[in-house]
Amino acid sequence: KYVSIPSVFYPRLAKNILAHPSERFIQRFPSSDTFRRLFERIDPDALAECLYDRLANNRKEGSVIAIDGKTICGSANHKHRAYHVVSAFVAESQITLGEIATEEKSNEITAVPELLRTINVENSIVTADAMSCQKEIVRTIREEKADYVIALKGNQPALLEDTQLYFQHFAQELPRHQTLEKGHGRIERREYRLLTQLEWLEGRENWAGLNRLGMATSTVTIGEETTTYTSYFITSLTDLEIFAYAVRKHWSIENELHWCLDVIFDEDDSRARKDNSPLNLNVLRKIALSLCKNCKEKRLAKSSIQKRRNRAALNPEVLSAILLG
């Protein structure tokens, strides 16, 4: 099939056609149906394993690996509910180490241990929200030779109540680490404390590697309005500054991964619903996001992720620079 190709998309090919008008250039492009059938049939676990292994080499020891789930809102159809994908995201290098899909957000509790066993988290700090504050998850993290910082909320009522009461009475006696950030019309002060003596805590032996209880207080001032939030954590860490660093870095999975998937890649508006296509496209989006963020090409240094994507679509040389790192 002979097709006309705009020179803006394929500058080199167009140049050759103009230079040799007597020659016939044949281009065969797969149709949209071909891509659809391909992504419906590929095993998403196998695809993720092949692609994520290439990126995993960029992870350094001591990195923060944030665990959290995101629902692909547009992936539901008459056969299944919207997929909920639990991801492991390296905060420092902005790469996804692995993922596992469920059809319910509540299934995240059983999915996290399975995910941890499929990736390498050794000598790293695993962070997670309160849904992952489970004895089985904590035990799995320690078996994989990693530390953890996990939020503590109402799903562990007895442990939360004991922690709150102790900090209410003795927080001022504990060492603290403070940070201050200004920007976007707001001032945020954060204060971190670690409780080191846990002999009084009943059932602490059931939580593998539990060395400290943590508290983080955030005071946000916007104009004349000030709001204070207090969060509690269980952790195997003993260093206060490392604990504070891990707590702050956990939010990278929301800001640098989930937000980008929704806003830059329009994931929730995707109409791919059949068979494996939603999960395969989710893997490819995460790979593309990691490659765009980690590209060191000088000409792209000041470009946004969206501009890098556009330039890669129009210029094969830019595409090669991003793919090859």
pLDDT tens track for 174-231: 889 999 988 878 899 999 999 988 888 888 899 999 999 999 999 999 888 899 999 9
Give the mean pLDDT of 39-67. Answer: 81
For 294-311, the pLDDT digits (tens) are 888 888 888 888 898 888
Grouping H, G, I as helix, E, B as strand and the rest as coil, residue 263 is: helix
The answer to whether residues 246 and 216 touch, using CB atoms and an 8 Å cutoff, is: no
In the chain, the N- to C-terminal Cα span, in Å, equals: 35
- Cα-flanking dihedrals φ and ψ of residue 44, to 5°? -65, -30
Residue 20 has pLDDT above 70, yes or no: no
Residue 134 has pLDDT above 80, yes or no: yes
For residue 213, CA distances in Å to 162, 190, 238 come to 10, 17, 10
Query: For position 159, what pLDDT does the model report?
Result: 93
Mean of the per-residue pLDDT values of the chain: 85
Separation between Cα atoms, residue 67 and residue 86, nearest integer Å: 7
Q: Which residue has the tokens 């960029």?
A: 58
Share of the chain above pLDDT 90, in %: 41
The tokens for 180 are: 């201050």
Q: How far apart are CA 75 and CA 270, in angstroms?
A: 8
DSSP state of 232: E
H helices of the chain, where? 11-19, 32-41, 44-56, 108-118, 135-143, 157-170, 240-249, 252, 259-263, 277-294, 305-314, 316-323
**Could you tell me whether strands 147-152 and 125-128 are parallel, antiparallel, or unpaired per DSSP bridges?**
parallel
- Write the DSSP symbol of residue 164: H
pTM of the entire predicted model: 0.83
Residues 6+ apart with CB under 8 A from 18: none
* Three-state secondary-structure class, residue 131: helix
Work out whether strand 125-128 and strand 64-71 pair parallel, antiparallel, or are unpaired. Answer: parallel
Residue 3 confidence class, pLDDT cut points 50, 70, 90: very low
d(CA 65, CA 116): 10
Average pLDDT rounded to a whole number, residues 70-83 = 84
Residue identified by tokens 């765009």 is 292
Per DSSP, 235 falls in state E
